[in-house]
Amino acid sequence: MNFLFYESGRRTYYTGRANGKNENIGWHVKGKMGGLWIDNTRLISSITLLKGSEVLVSDKFVNNIYHKSLIFGETQLEFAAHPNEPAFSVQLSNYQPEHVLKICVDPSATWLKHESFNPVLKIKRKRTDAVVTISLNAKRKFVLHTNTSLIGIRDREIIITPSSNPLTCVICDHGIGFSFDEIVNAKNSFYSRYLPQYRKDITFWVQLNALDLYFARESGEGYAAGLPEFPWWFGIDSVYTGLGLLHTPQIELVKASIENLAKHGNGVAPHEVTLTGHVYAKARTNEIPAFAYLVTRYVSLTDELYLMELVDRAFEKLFNILNDDGYPVGEGVVEVPGTSNFAMLDTASWFYALMLELNDTGLINHLRYSAQAKVLLEKLQGNFPNIWNNGELFYDAVSGEKRLFEGHFIQIYPLTFGLVPKELGKKVIKRMKKEGFFTEKGMIHSLPLNIFEAGEYGPTDKNSIVWSLPTILALKAAKNYEDVELEIKMVEALNSALKRGMPGSIPEILPEGGCIVQAWNAFLADVLR
């Protein structure tokens, strides 16, 4: 049984394959991603169980919520990440004769971070335990504690022969050690603050997955997009994640994520920020109203009015890029060639939804641009269906009299936000069903009108890709427009994906593909509330 899995805390995580072959597991960008990371350094490339010289492959995987287990018959290899400290533990129980644990040290820095490492490993043995000091350079040092003295080093491989049942190893960046049970108990205690009582439903798992991706570094803290890619903070991903968690105990983490993005983006959410604080890409146009919408929803629940400054900051940027119809011009969630001077449907929907939310909550009166916003809202209320609806579906992009239909999943946004009357919404869903937008796997990314370059996915027929996000957006639209058939279909697709790949985690691409865990799936917690 070979698959990808992860175990994470705020400052450390392990991600890789069950057979320990953890390289080349990324697809968006290249680099050494698999293995054990502590803060922004990959220390260990793989942790594997051997019988003699043979690498064993587990026959079962168990997601224990607070730790993960690989099962080899009666033998268990368990992984646990401390929720707050840079400490990670591995435990081997019920081991068999000739079983040894192999830990491969292969340090590397996170993406776009240049740091040279020359690892030096030293063992200090005692009668019943041992400590391995791993020095990477003058600044970086880690220690590995294990409850056996039967340990050796071959090149950069640490070979551990168990002598106590269970065998435990704790890896951290300081001399303070934790037992495996202490780490699991700490995680249980910490997670209980933010999670509902365990129940076997999808809303529990998406909240757990988001909490697993809440990473803290010197540069800030917030919800990383997913694993096993290099984790980074994405603007639009964080918006969906935050919206899903506003009515959960994680709302305080949503606030921290908002403040983190605003810090790095000078008041707006950047598109991509590495966990070292490097802004790789500034905000796309769609992320400006989307982030302001999240902030508005948060303030409406908490009355923390000082955060409305972020909405004002969004309007400062948006007012400079509105077309004559009142919609922001620029890039949306889908990269459509030749549309840089167009308003995109998803951006228009976010913007209109933001204006309605500000008006409905009364927060529009707390804006510096209150008067201008009210005039603009009246304009949007009068023209949205006329500009964007082509009779049965929506245009993907509009620039004056030029209106494009590319068949992207952004068709669903006006329905997800409930921006059009019931009769029109039902009509659009009916036509979308006829065109083939909704499959057993979920909602397709785009109709197969063209072949497009899908990044590291290669030239791909659009109809072959089903992301989890469009599927969740379609589920929300089905609920808004009372389409029970579509609602059931999308729920079944998501529940099916939950049981594929790594159990207990909905992947990025349905039914199993892309990132094995994706924070934006937390949006489901609000959709199904």
Token digits of residue 59: 């026959």
3-state secondary structure 111-133: CCCCCCCCCEEEEEECCCCEEEE
| Measured distance CA(298)–CA(291) in Å, rounded | 11
Any bridge partners for residue 394, and if so which? Answer: 389
pLDDT one-digit tens code per residue, 448-477: 877 666 655 556 666 778 999 999 999 999
pLDDT one-digit tens code per residue, 367-389: 999 999 999 999 999 999 999 99
| Measured distance CA(158)–CA(136) in Å, rounded | 15
CB 106 within 8 A of CB 45: yes
Q: What is the DSSP string of 275-336?
A: TTS-EEE---TTHHHHHHHHHHHHHHHH--GGGHHHHHHHHHHHTTSB-TTS-B-S--SS--
Q: How much is the pLDDT for 458?
A: 57
Helix (H) or strand (E) holding 460: strand 459-461
Domain 193-527 fold is Glycosyltransferase (1.50.10)
Residues of the chain with pLDDT under 50: none
Q: How much is the pLDDT for 25?
A: 86
Residue 447 one-letter amino acid: L
Q: How much is the pLDDT for 454?
A: 60
Q: Can you give the pTM of this predicted structure?
A: 0.96
Any bridge partners for residue 404, and if so which? Answer: 397
| Distances, alpha carbon 14 to alpha carbons 43, 212, 447, 508, in Å | 10, 11, 37, 18
* Helix, strand and coil in the chain, % to nearest 5: 35, 25, 40
Here the contacts of 451-457 (C-beta below 8 Å, separation 24 or greater) are 455/27, 455/28, 456/26, 456/27, 456/28, 456/29, 457/27
CA-angle at 354, arms to 348 and 355, nearest 5°: 95
Q: Kindly list the domain boundaries of the chain, sorted by start residue.
A: 4-189, 193-527
Give the position of tokens 């054990």.
36
Measured in residues, the chain has a length of 529
Q: How much is the pLDDT for 335?
A: 82
